[in-house]
Amino acid sequence: MFDPKKLIRKGLPKGHFKDAAVRSLLAGVTYLVVIIAALLFGKIIVDGAPVLFKAEAPFVDFEFLTAKNETLHVFDDALGNRHQLPAAAYSAYLDKHPGEGIFNEQTFSYSGGGIAGPIVGTALLTIGSMILALFFGICAAIYLSEYAKQSPFIHAVRLAILNLAGIPSIVFGLFGFSVFVLAVPIITSTPADRSLLTFPLFFGNYFVSFQGWNSSLMAGCATLACMILPVIITASEESLRAVPQGFRDASLAMGATRWQTIRKCVLPFSLPGILTSSLLAITRVAGETAPIMFTAAVAAKDDLPWQGLKSPFDLLSSQVQALPYHIYTLAARIPSSEYTQRAQYGSVFVFLVLVAFLSAGSMILRSKLRAKLKW
Amino acid sequence: MSQEEISLSPSHHRFQKRGFSCEKAIKYFFASNAGLTIVILVLITIFLLKEGLGFFPGYQRELEVYRIAGLEFVDISRKNLTAQEQLTSVLNRAYYAEINGQAAREMKRSKEASALFNAYSEQTGPTRDLVVNNSQAASDPKSEMLAILKTNFEKQKVKALASLPATPHLEKNERADLIESIRTRAVDSTEDPPLVAALAAELAAAQEKYAVPLQGMRATIDSFSSAGSELSSLVSEMTESVTATKEKIQGADILEKDRKTLLAAAASAKDLAEREKLTSEATASLAEKPDVEGPIQRLMERRADCVKAHQALQKTTGGILAQLPENLRQPDARRLLKVARATWPLFIADLEKTPAAIHAWKYDAPVPLTAAISSFLTGKDWVTGGEWQDFYGILPLAAGSLMIALVALIIAIPSGIGAAVYVNQFASPREQGIIKPVIEFIQAIPSVVLGFIGILVFGTLLRDISTWDSLQWIPGFPIEERLNIFTAGCLLALMSIPTIFSLSEDAINNVPSAYAEASEALGASRFQTTFRVVVPAAFSGVLAAVLLGLGRVIGETMVVLLVAGNRIKIPDFSSGLSTFFQPCHTLTGIIAQELGEVPLGSVHYRALFVVGILLFAIVLAINATAHHFVNKMKH
Amino acid sequence: MTSAIQIQNVSFAYNTKQVLHDVSMDIPAHQITAFIGPSGCGKSTLLRCFNRINDRIPGARITAGSIKVHDIDINRSDIDLQELRRQIGMVFQKYNPFAKSIYENVAFSLRVAGQNKRATLDEIVENALKSAALWDEVKDRLHASAFGLSGGQQQRLCIARAIANQPEILLMDEPCAALDPLATLKIEELLMELKKKYTIVIVTHNMAQATRCSDKTAFMYLGKLIEFGPTMQLFENPKDPQTEAYVTGTFG
């Protein structure tokens, strides 16, 4: 029976200590993750920031960002002064001081100079693959959200998107290598032996040869575009669907065609959303290493991508350095020492700052967009 | 009148559309873009299969050559020899563990003293070399330069002496003496400081002292070790002859392949003259059939010797176990001895079976395709580019991938789900505003950066921590390899936490609030509501999150390539929990590491594609299961 | 006639939005009291104050007045909330059984109270299901998922769940809003049965339902209590013109 006195609790609520313990355990786990993440970045910032920034104006060491990547030579001159010079400066030094011996010489690959090559290469790869992926991705999303009805085709497309999104990046690397590097058609006057299929064109002495684009910028862009396509399609479709159905109905009711409706009443409102989520896709494209290892990236290259080109096509068909691959090379192929730290931590710091800017930008834009677009 | 006739009739209603409209073209354009995803998926499947499926016939031929040339026959004996060598090494390790365990104090002291001296030498080395080299070379010792060099050296010396490593096992005055002796050391002295030398001598003496009671064991090990010498010389003798046969067969294979290419070219050549030229070239390059019978017969004649050597080895081995000491004092030594005792009967059983195997072996037994497939799927060796024989067995790689995934999930599941529960159920909006972006940012970090952190920061940190005296109770500490399963697992956990966190949080968030309301209305507390109603209701979604996290872990490449240590070997599970501190190699890592170095179209190249197919299938299966659970959650 | 709940000058707000203004009434024990009124008039909010389930909503609070259950002010800081809710059961608008078996749904409130003895649980579950007139329909599949039941059965399961604890008062927030007429009829029959043992407060949209089952009715409008009295009197001779307009269907 009802006993009003039971309602008044004496002391702390039942199970108070157990609840508090569980709660603090969960909080501890959560903050542990946060703190570990913070510590790791702290370490990179502490070691990497001095490479990029300096005490006096303009405070940023632009040389690190704009100089080519070279081998680092470390040596003592006859007076016991230690020099650290990248390859070009090293040979200049030797020319300037002939006959003076140098001692204790050590060389460190990839550790001298700056990281202009990798930065430019990553930028080219990212721009190229994003252009491809955005074009095809937005078009596919328009079909899925504006035209598609229930059909086996749509079902297959959705299944394909779902599966593509889960494929490991190294498998994309294998795919890019076997398709874009070795098998896609190319027009050439001298088809290679390993060509899968060759047939002559009607003019000149040219053949269409299915021999691939070799390891090149365009093969890398195509591979990365395939990898990011499902992400772009999903994000674009979401943005397109966020446009209220009423906009379309109103437009169609006034006699506009489907395409006019999409162009005037749907795309303009969803583009900001699409581009915002693409920013996040950029961080993924820029950060992937496995797909470009065999399709585009090269560890060392003397020229920047646009130097020494005979035709613009050469830019697309040449290999490039890339920041993630550069970091891989620095981490895996050279021993860590006080002379390589500048290159190692500097590159990672620059890369991380880039990624942080992109993802923070995407987060901020997204929350702004949500606040602005309320239908 | 049928439908078509209506549309064809010239007088139609004005609402009716005619012909192929621009609108339709636009629609088909967009549809084709959507179809691109299907095309890509199909292309991935086709090209992986195209490159990969050739592997099995190629591998079958390699295994066939392995048999015909007699390599397989030699491997029967070689396997036992390797086992014997491994057992010897285990016994030796037990022996030294016993001695060094007893002399642990001396060892630590000696190590610390030399570490201190080495740190000093390393830092002052370059400047010191300059001084020494120049004072020998320069005729004028008083030169200005030498003075500068000497000041540089002195400066470096002061710096080095200020930053010496800690020596917890040396007495305070011992350390002071050591530093003093280093300070007053002549520049060109090559001798070790007295304390370093003294401690080294002390250690040697201690080792000698503790070795005395173990003399019997030493002798036993030595006799066991030398018991294999007869078999060993037999094996190396046979190795030479079979390798020669194998080379001949392989050479003939290559010629045969060339001939086929020429013939194919001839068949498709348009010009009659060219065709004849190619055909004649092909006939000319017809390889003479290599002589297999001769060497094999000679090999078969050695059967009796082989059997005899094995029997001798078996006889010695049988007696050894009884002669080993009953027990040892040091835990490490005891464990190793136990391992040896456990494997001993297996080794003897192998030896017993060997003569029968030697007699039963036939060089012309066919190698079916299934043998190649099962050798790939269940093979314990992934050996490539060797001089002896290439094996493509997936087990070491799969074991590595699984072990790493296990470590990663053990860490990531509790922390990911715990964080999701905390953030969704207990955290204030302000805490959410901090935690969510940080975890989202972890997700955005490229994996190569995490690998970099692992190799340069985390691995070293872990190894340093593992040498702390207070942590020695943890199995496997101090760790031998900086890069190992555990390091890789930790970093992958960090990678999969955001996936598990955000998807679990979504799942918990999607539980209808009516559940929580009803639960509280029935008198459950916040905690009971969370753990008895909300979390169980989100179970499918959380499970899907864990599976997607697993998919990410299995498919991740750069972190494991950089951090897993890349040793292709099935982890040695006999060492208990310290198995997790061994290096390993993974399915993803092997592709990334070897694809750039293999010749196009070779068996090795194709093997990598088969690994890719396997990976593709595993991850797709995991994701399909995960999406099954997601759909279940929706209903 | 003793009163089960005494409401004295209660005002209530979600953050700055005032929802209830100075509501006072005495809810009699062992009778059915119905709250009627147009949507958003605050009747559900008032009901949800009785077991303090509004505490879940951030920013929701009573700004003035007091609610007493058998002379205990339930907004005291040292109230044992769990015990309070065990004594005051609640049934919601949309039937919401947990994703558990029928048995576990009914046993839930006992288990969270620390009762785990199998025999006791079996007995209580059976009694609760019998009281909710559900036993005969489910006794063969007690351990099947609760989602396999029909809507009306699920709602009766929720009632069984609420009375498993033997509460003093049963709060019902539009219990028939999501049900078809037949299921509604069954629930109403059940209410008549239950009122012998429990004090029932029911919020309803359906004036016919209020006339059919309730003993007393309160009409609320814009967060104020307009009129409160015996049901017959309120519907046939409303004192307030607003009440009259509402019950005759002029607005609302």
**pLDDT of B484-506, one tens digit each?**
899 999 999 999 999 999 999 99
pTM above 0.90, yes or no: no
pLDDT the model gives residue B20: 61
Among the residue ranges A16-20, B91-95, B385-389, B549-553, the one predicted with the least confidence is: B385-389
3-state secondary structure of C65: strand
Comparing B34-48, B81-95, B253-267, the range with the smallest average pLDDT is: B253-267
Apex B64 CA angle, B63 and B67, nearest 5? 90
How far is CA B548 from its chain centroid?
23
- Distance (Å, whole) CA B187 – CA B189: 6
> Inter-chain contact C96–B518, Cβ cutoff 8 Å?
yes
Asked if the model's pLDDT at residue B136 lies above 70, the reply is: no
Cα dist. B616→A185, B159, B551, B595 in Å?
A: 26, 55, 10, 16
Tell whether B528 lies on the interface with C, counting CB pairs under 8 A.
yes
Cβ pair B337, B324 in contact under 8 A: yes
- Alpha-carbon span C114 to B385, nearest angstrom: 67
End-to-end CA distance of chain A: 53
At A226, the pLDDT band (50, 70, 90 cuts) reads: very high
Pairing of strands C32-36, C216-221: parallel
* Interior/surface letters B389-402, b for 16+ CB within 10 angstroms, e for the rest: bbbbbbebbbbbbb
The first and second tokens of residue A265, run together, are: 């009443």
Query: Is the model's pLDDT at A328 over the cut of 50?
Result: yes
Q: Please give the Cα distance from C139 to C135 (Å, whole number).
A: 5
Q: What angle do CA B37, B39, B40 make, to 5 degrees?
A: 65
Q: Which of A2, A7, A5, A9 is nearest to C4 (CA)?
A: A2
Tokens matching residue A364:
């901020």
Q: Which range (A108-122, A317-331, B53-67, B207-221) has the least confidence?
A: B207-221
* Torsion A107-A112-A117-A122 (CA) sign: positive
Are B154 and B109 in contact, with CB atoms under 8 Å apart?
no
Q: Residue B475 in 3-state DSSP?
A: coil
Cβ neighbors of B248 (< 8 A, separation 6 or more) are B290, B291
Residue B507 has pLDDT above 60, yes or no: yes
Integer Cα distance of B594 and B561 in angstroms = 11
Mean pLDDT of chain A: 84
d(Cα B347, Cα C196) in Å, to the nearest integer? 83
Residue A69 φ then ψ, to 5°: -85, 130
Contact predicate A283/A277, CB 8 Å? no
Q: How confident is the model at residue B144 (pLDDT cuts 50, 70, 90)?
A: low
Q: What is the per-residue pLDDT for B105?
A: 79
Instruction: Indicate the burial class of A44 (C-beta count within 10 angstroms; 0-12, 13-18, 19 or more).
Output: buried
Helix (H, G, I), strand (E, B) or coil at B295: helix
Which residue is listed with tokens 């059915």?
C32
Does A171 contact chain B (CB < 8 Å)? yes
Provide the sign of the torsion angle of the four alpha carbons A303, A308, A312, A317, taken in this order.
negative
Cβ neighbours of C29 in A, within 8 Å: none
Chain B residues closer than 8 Å to C148 by CB = none
The pLDDT tens digits of the residues spanning C187-243 come to 888 888 888 888 999 998 888 888 888 999 999 988 899 999 999 988 888 888 888
pLDDT of residue B177: 79
Which residues, 6 or more positions from A373, have their beta carbon under 8 angstroms from its beta carbon? A242, A269, A272, A273
> Min CA distance, C54 vs chain B (Å)?
9
> CB of B520 within 8 A of CB of C54?
no
Would you state the pLDDT for residue A141?
A: 93
Residue A227 has pLDDT above 90, yes or no: yes
Whether residues A7 and C168 touch (CB distance < 8 A) is answered with no
Q: Average pLDDT of A130-138?
A: 93
- Residue with the bigger pLDDT between B5 and B78: it is B78
Asked whether residue C38 carries a pLDDT value surpassing 60, the answer given is: yes
Nearest chain B CA: its distance from C75 CA (Å): 16
Given a cut of 80, is residue B369 above it in pLDDT? Answer: yes
- More confident: C31 or B19: C31
Condensed to tens digits (0 to 9), the pLDDT of residues A7-18 reads: 777 767 777 788
Are the beta carbons of A344 and B456 separated by less than 8 Å? yes
- Each residue's pLDDT tens digit, B213-226: 777 778 777 777 77
Domain A116-372, CATH among 3.40.50.1820, 3.40.50.300, 3.30.470.30, 1.10.3720.10: 1.10.3720.10
Q: How confident is the model at residue A128 (pLDDT cuts 50, 70, 90)?
A: very high
Listed ranges B289-303, B363-377, B404-418, C93-107; the one with the highest mean pLDDT? B404-418
Task: Write the CB contacts of C146 (distance below 8 Å, at least 6 apart in sequence).
Answer: C97, C98, C99, C100, C101, C102, C105, C154, C157
Which residues, including other chains, have CB under 8 Å from residue C11's CB and lie 6 or more apart?
C18, C20, C21, C22, C23, C62, C63, C64, C65
pLDDT of C88 > 50? The answer is yes
| Confidence bin at B19 (pLDDT 50/70/90) | low
Domains and CATH numbers, chain C: 3-247 (3.40.50.300)
C123 in contact with A, Cβ within 8 Å? no
Tally DSSP H helices, then E strands, for chain C.
10, 10
The pLDDT value given to residue B625: 92
Strand order from edge to edge, sheet including C199-203: C88-91, C169-173, C199-203, C32-36, C216-221, C224-230
Q: Is C72 close to A6, i.e. CB distance below 8 A?
A: no
The SS3 assignment for C90 reads strand
> Which residues, other chains included, contact A185 with Cβ-Cβ below 8 Å and sequence gap of 6+?
A208, A209, A210, A211
How far B545 CA sits from the closest chain C CA (Å)? Answer: 20
Q: Which of A2, A7, A14 sits opposite C79 (nearest CB)?
A: A7
| B592 contacts B401 by C-beta, under 8 angstroms | no
Interface of A with B in 243-282 (CB under 8 A): 257-259, 280
Peptide bond into A4 cis (omega under 30): no
The DSSP output letter for C237 is S
The order of strands in the sheet holding A103-113 is A82-86, A69-76, A103-113
Of B26, B421, B555, the CB nearest to A168: B555
The per-residue pLDDT for B178 is 77
Q: Which one of A1, A2, A12 makes the best mutation probe of the C interface by having the most chain C beta carbons within 10 Å?
A: A2
For residue A99, name the pLDDT band (cuts at 50, 70, 90).
low
Average pLDDT over chain B, rounded to whole? 82
Chain B CB within 8 Å of residue A298 CB: no
| Yes or no, beta carbons of B528 and C92 under 8 Å apart | no
> According to the model, what pLDDT value does residue B163 have?
76
Residues from chain A contacting residue C69 (CB–CB below 8 Å): 4, 7
Does the pLDDT value for residue B4 go beyond 60? no
Helix pair B215-227, B71-102: axis angle to 10 deg = 170
Residue B13 predicted with pLDDT over 80: no
Beta-strand pair B391-392/A185-188: unpaired
Among C52, C95, C98, C170, the strongest candidate for a mutation testing the B interface, having the largest count of B CBs within 10 A, is C98
Average of pLDDT values for B54-61?
A: 88
Model confidence over A149-196: pLDDT tens digits?
Answer: 888 899 999 999 999 998 999 999 999 999 999 888 888 777 777 777
Question: Residue ranges of the alpha helices (H) in B1-70?
Answer: 3-8, 22-53, 55-68
Distances (CA, A) of A141 to A54, A132, A281, B32: 47, 14, 16, 11
Chain C touched by B515 (CB under 8 Å): yes
Give which of B321, B310, B308, B304 is closest to B353, Cα–Cα. B310
**Largest Cα span, chain A:** 107
Q: Does B519 touch chain C (CB under 8 A)?
A: yes
Query: Is pLDDT at B2 greater than 50 in this prediction?
Result: no
| Residues B434-484 pLDDT 10s | 898 888 888 888 899 999 888 888 888 888 888 777 777 777 777 778 888
ipTM metric: 0.89
Token duo for residue B19: 């012909």
Q: Report the pLDDT value the prediction gives residue A375, as an integer from 0 to 100.
A: 56
User: In the prediction, which pLDDT does A184 show?
Assistant: 85
**Cα gap B308→C151, rounded to integer Å:** 84
Percent of chain B with pLDDT over 70: 93
pLDDT digits (tens, 9 = 90+) for A291-315: 999 998 888 777 777 777 777 777 8
pLDDT at site A234: 92
Q: Which residue has better confidence, C50 or B480?
A: C50
pLDDT of residue B334 exceeding 80: no
List the single range of A61-70, B536-545, C117-126 with lowest mean pLDDT.
A61-70
pLDDT of residue A374: 57
Residue C176 CA neighbour count, 13 Å, CB half? 22
CA distance A64 to A53: 10
Flag whether pLDDT at B624 surpasses 50. yes
Q: What is the pLDDT of residue B1?
A: 41
| Nearest residue of chain B to residue C53 (CA atoms) | B521
Distance from C-alpha of C91 to C-alpha of C190, rounded to nearest angstrom = 13
Average pLDDT over residues B165-171: 75
Q: How far apart are CA C128 and CA C158, in angstroms?
A: 10
- Domain borders along chain A are 69-113, 116-372
Q: Which of C85, C100, C161 sits opposite B520 (nearest CB)?
A: C85
Partners of C216 in the β-ladder: C33, C230
Q: N- to C-terminal Cα distance for chain C? A: 33
* Beta pairing, strands C88-91 & C216-221: unpaired
Contact A167 B44 (CB under 8 A): yes
Task: Give residue B518's identity as a one-letter amino acid code.
Answer: A
For residue C101, what is the DSSP state?
A: B
Please indicate whether, in this complex, the C-beta atoms of C84 and A7 are within 8 angstroms of each other: yes
Q: Which residue of A has its CA nearest to B130?
A: A80
Percent of chain A with pLDDT over 70: 94
Please check whether residue A42 touches B, CB under 8 A.
no
Question: Which residues from A are below 8 Å from B456, CB to CB?
Answer: 331, 336, 344
Burial B56-88 (b: 16+ CB within 10 A, else e): bebbbbbbbbbbbbbbbbbbbbbebbebbeebb
Give the separation between CA A91 and CA A95, rounded to whole angstroms: 6
Interface membership of B511 toward C (CB under 8 Å): no
Q: Which pLDDT does position B270 carry in this prediction?
A: 67
Per-residue pLDDT, averaged over B233-244, amounts to 79
Whether B410 shows a pLDDT value over 90: the answer reads yes
- Which among C90, C98, C111 has the least Cβ separation from residue B521? C90
